[in-house]
């Protein structure tokens, strides 16, 4: 199966669904990640791209594409929506992922707006900013969370311990799911 993940910034796909990327790879799915911006608020786009390349060496995505649109300025214009549609056509995935629209970041909202209108295969929404979106489905990442934690340690430019924060978040979601404590 071919899986296409839209990541507004370098790290969203890894923070929001790093454990799921490993699960897809474990069943031999082909995973493509499209990074819409490369961050860059602090002028460190090259470093951010290098960090996701290192993180994905651990998680295992097959292809990484960098669109390099302007950070904090992604707009759901007709022109941009057509570009997104062309990318989906070119990759021709079986399923698509993008962040939830409830997340407050304007780039995340714009990416959702464009992708949700362009896609004609199942679309799954992942959570990047904990606690802002209603949960409809839980993904059990008990067996893949350690790889996710290793990958998150590659995001050194973020100047905070993302691995620790997202381990707690996974534990919280695990308890809330009522099924498993991660």
Residues that bind Zn ion (CB under 5 A): 8-9, 12
DSSP state of 74: -
Residue 22 Cβ vs Zn ion, minimum distance, rounded to whole Å? 20
Residue 69 Cβ vs Zn ion, minimum distance, rounded to whole Å? 12
Residue 85 Cβ vs Zn ion, minimum distance, rounded to whole Å? 21
Q: Is the dihedral of CA 14, 154, 51, 31 positive or negative?
A: negative
Nearer to Zn ion, 8 or 40 (CB): 8
Residue 130 Cβ vs Zn ion, minimum distance, rounded to whole Å? 13
**Which stretches does DSSP call E strand in the chain?**
2-7, 30-37, 63-69, 95-99, 123-126
When CB distances to Zn ion are compared, the closest residue is 9
If residue 35 lies in a helix (H) or strand (E), which one and from where to where? strand 30-37
Residue 142 Cβ vs Zn ion, minimum distance, rounded to whole Å? 26
Return the structure tokens found at 38.
């490369």
Nearer to Zn ion, 4 or 174 (CB): 4
> Is 124:21 a contact under the CB 8 Å cutoff?
no
**Which stretches does DSSP call E strand in 58-141?**
63-69, 95-99, 123-126
Nearer to Zn ion, 31 or 52 (CB): 52
> Is 14:31 a contact under the CB 8 Å cutoff?
no
Nearer to Zn ion, 48 or 147 (CB): 48
Nearer to Zn ion, 129 or 182 (CB): 129
Own/partner contacts of 159-167, CB < 8 Å, gap of 24 or more, are: 162/11, 162/15, 166/15, 166/18
If residue 50 lies in a helix (H) or strand (E), which one and from where to where? helix 45-59
Residue 52 Cβ vs Zn ion, minimum distance, rounded to whole Å? 12
Nearer to Zn ion, 12 or 49 (CB): 12
């Amino acid at each position: 199966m071919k899986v296409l993940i839209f990541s507004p910034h370098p790290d969203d796909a890894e923070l929001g669904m790093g454990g799921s990327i490993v699960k897809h790879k474990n069943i031999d799915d082909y995973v493509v990640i499209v990074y819409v911006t490369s961050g860059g608020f602090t002028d460190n786009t090259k470093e951010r791209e290098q960090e996701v390349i290192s993180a994905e060496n651990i998680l295992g995505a097959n292809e990484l594409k960098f669109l390099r649109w302007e950070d904090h300025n992604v707009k759901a214009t007709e022109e941009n929506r057509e570009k997104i549609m062309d990318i989906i056509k070119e990759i021709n995935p079986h399923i698509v992922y993008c962040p939830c629209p409830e997340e407050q970041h304007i780039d995340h909202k714009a990416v959702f707006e464009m992708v949700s209108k362009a896609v004609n295969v199942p679309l799954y929404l992942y959570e990047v900013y904990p606690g802002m979106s209603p949960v409809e489905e839980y993904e059990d990442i008990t067996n893949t969370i350690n790889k996710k934690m290793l990958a998150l340690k590659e995001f050194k430019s973020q100047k905070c311990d993302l691995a620790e924060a997202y381990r707690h978040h996974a534990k919280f979601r695990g308890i809330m799911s009522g099924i498993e404590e991660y």
